[in-house]
Amino acid sequence: MTERRLIPRFAGLFFLVAFLLVVLLVVTPLTLAAQSPSQQEAQPDAQQGGQAAQSQRIAALEQRAADAKSSADNAWMLTSAALVLMMTGPGLALFYGGLVRKKNVLGTMMQSFAMMAVITVLWAIVGYSLAFGAGNSVIGGIHNALLRGVGLQPDADYAATIPLETFMVYQLMFAIITPALITGAFAERMKFRAMLLFLILWSLFVYDPMAHMVWGKGGLLNASLGGRFPTLDFAGGTVVHVTSGVSALVCALYLGKRLGYPKMAMPPHSVVLSFIGACLLWVGWFGFNAGSALAAGGLATSAFVATHFGAAAAAIGWSGAEWLRNGKPSVLGAVSGAVAGLVAITPAAGFVSPMSALAIGLIAGAFCFWMVAKVKARFGYDDSLDAFGVHGAGGTIGALLTGIFASSAINPIFKDPSGNTGPSGLLEGNAHQLLNQCVGVAIAWVLAIVGTLVLLLIVDKVVGLRVSEDEEMQGLDLSQHGEEGYYWETPA
């Protein structure tokens, strides 16, 4: 009896399932067929819309990544610009200020400070345009005078990830310190107004053309933009140090010796100030060299390391040579050696390995000591603060050693027409690069000698260069500025 009742129940369940299958198999296709064309097209449109949205998201992510890189590069470059400015004031001002006699400390420091103000205005008016504006192979034009066209958009020829205005202000700091370096040669004996006029003219007629030739678009010596004689100068070996150092020698020879030199002892009035200034120069030099990578990437790291290693090795090289000659190493010698190493590694910083940087620094330290201790004494010129012995000699030897030690593994700057990386320096098989370095150094020497001599003659005729004997005996602090660096209280 129970079985007879279950059979109808299972049969009913069977027919219900069969009915639902018929509905799914027959009614659903009819329903889909009855959909309007717009409904049928909606599905692929939805898929396309999803793909478009995904592409937009990817593009937005890429843009944010590019913006983040640009922001990082810009932050590094603004920091580097501040570090380079610190090299002039307080770095160079303290270094030079401590080396002179106390009656000239303010006058010497004021010369560096004056460059911070005067060259800034000159750079904005026409200096930047002459150095980096489009022109010929020797000098830029005036298209960017008054900073026309220098805004917040990058210029890919110079730096693709930072505003052109950032690049402009970074290069300004180089233009400030370069003429300030020359003041070390004529310290304690040039009129303040003569110094101003001379260095303004020097900046326009010596520095700006040299900067354009090495770094500017279409420059004769520009290695990255196809110059005729591609000279490797990463951060200013020829542009900054050779030109300023050689010009310093010309100034020292033209003005003549200080009263009483060399018979009268003229020791530094405060090696402590010079020590502090040299340490500030060392720190600021990271902005000078590593900043010249123009981006916060691996090349900046390489230049940073090379800079530090070069300075350290040169301090040892100078101190070691002095120790052998004089029986003891001096504090002033050690810091002077570090500065010499910083000078020599400047053109090479972005092209050489850390071990090559050590070699360059060691050579430069010993060589610059020899220039200051032997050559200067042999010829008897009064380069008051050894601007030529450190910057002229150090910049020259550094530029030449760059042509020997440059490595394509550090910076693949040379490529053949197929895009393959070529050798950079002599040790890699590119002997011709050493010749290019010699050409660059020779042009810097000739431009500095001829330009400086002509400008000195002009300024001497217009305002006179040298202070009177009475003013020199009194000191530049009082005679040129009417104040003293130190006021000693006398007992009542």
Give the whole-angstrom CA distance, residue 92 versus residue 98. Answer: 10
pLDDT at 258: 97
- Residue 404: which of 375, 381, 372, 437 has the closest Cα? 437
pLDDT at 41: 52
Helix (H) or strand (E) holding 42: helix 37-86
Q: What is the DSSP letter of 352?
A: S
- Residue 101: which of 484, 445, 466, 488 has the closest Cα? 484
For all residues of the chain together, what is the average pLDDT? Answer: 92
CATH topology of domain 69-481: Ammonium transporter fold (1.10.3430)
- Residue 332: which of 347, 353, 318, 350 has the closest Cα? 318
- Section 143-155 average pLDDT: 97
**Cβ distance 106 to 476 under 8 Å?**
yes
**Cβ distance 72 to 293 under 8 Å?**
no
Q: Which two tokens stand for residue 82?
A: 């501040």
pLDDT at 60: 83
- Its pTM stands at 0.88
Cα dihedral 426, 427, 430, 434 in deg (nearest 10): -10
Is the predicted pLDDT of residue 377 greater than 50, yes or no? yes
pLDDT at 53: 80
Alpha carbon distances (Å) from 38 to 27, 48, 52: 21, 15, 20
Give the whole-angstrom CA distance, residue 10 versus residue 35. Answer: 38
CA-based R_g, the chain, Å: 34
Give the whole-angstrom CA distance, residue 75 versus residue 2. Answer: 90
- Residue 385: which of 3, 89, 109 has the closest Cα? 109
pLDDT digits (tens, 9 = 90+) for 413-426: 999 888 899 999 99
Give the whole-angstrom CA distance, residue 137 versus residue 216. Answer: 9
- Section 331-345 average pLDDT: 98
Give the whole-angstrom CA distance, residue 237 versus residue 244. Answer: 10
Q: Any idea which of 43-47, 94-98, 101-105, 206-210 has the lowest mean pLDDT?
A: 43-47
Q: Residue 321, SS3?
A: helix
Alpha carbon distances (Å) from 149 to 74, 132, 248: 19, 12, 35
Residue 64: which pLDDT band, with cuts at 50, 70 and 90? confident
HSE of 476, CA atoms in CB hemisphere, 13 A: 25
Q: C-alpha angle 74/217/247, rounded to 5°? A: 90
**Cβ distance 306 to 289 under 8 Å?**
yes
Q: Identity (one letter) of the amino acid at 241?
A: H
Give the whole-angstrom CA distance, residue 342 versus residue 278. Answer: 11
Tokens 């296709």 sit on residue: 29
Alpha carbon distances (Å) from 7 to 12, 17, 20, 364, 463: 9, 16, 20, 109, 128
Is the predicted pLDDT of residue 35 greater than 60, yes or no? no
pLDDT at 61: 80
First to last CA, the chain: 139
pLDDT at 27: 47
**Cβ distance 322 to 316 under 8 Å?**
no
Is the predicted pLDDT of residue 37 greater than 90, yes or no? no
**Cβ distance 420 to 186 under 8 Å?**
no
Residue 140: strand pairing partners:
135
Give the whole-angstrom CA distance, residue 109 versus residue 276. Answer: 14
- The residues spanned by each domain of the chain are 69-481
Give the whole-angstrom CA distance, residue 453 versus residue 267. Answer: 29
Give the whole-angstrom CA distance, residue 119 versus residue 52. Answer: 53
pLDDT digits (tens, 9 = 90+) for 386-416: 999 999 999 999 999 999 999 999 999 999 8
H helix intervals, 290-390: 298-326, 331-345, 354-370, 376-379, 387
Other beta carbons within 10 Å of 158 = 18
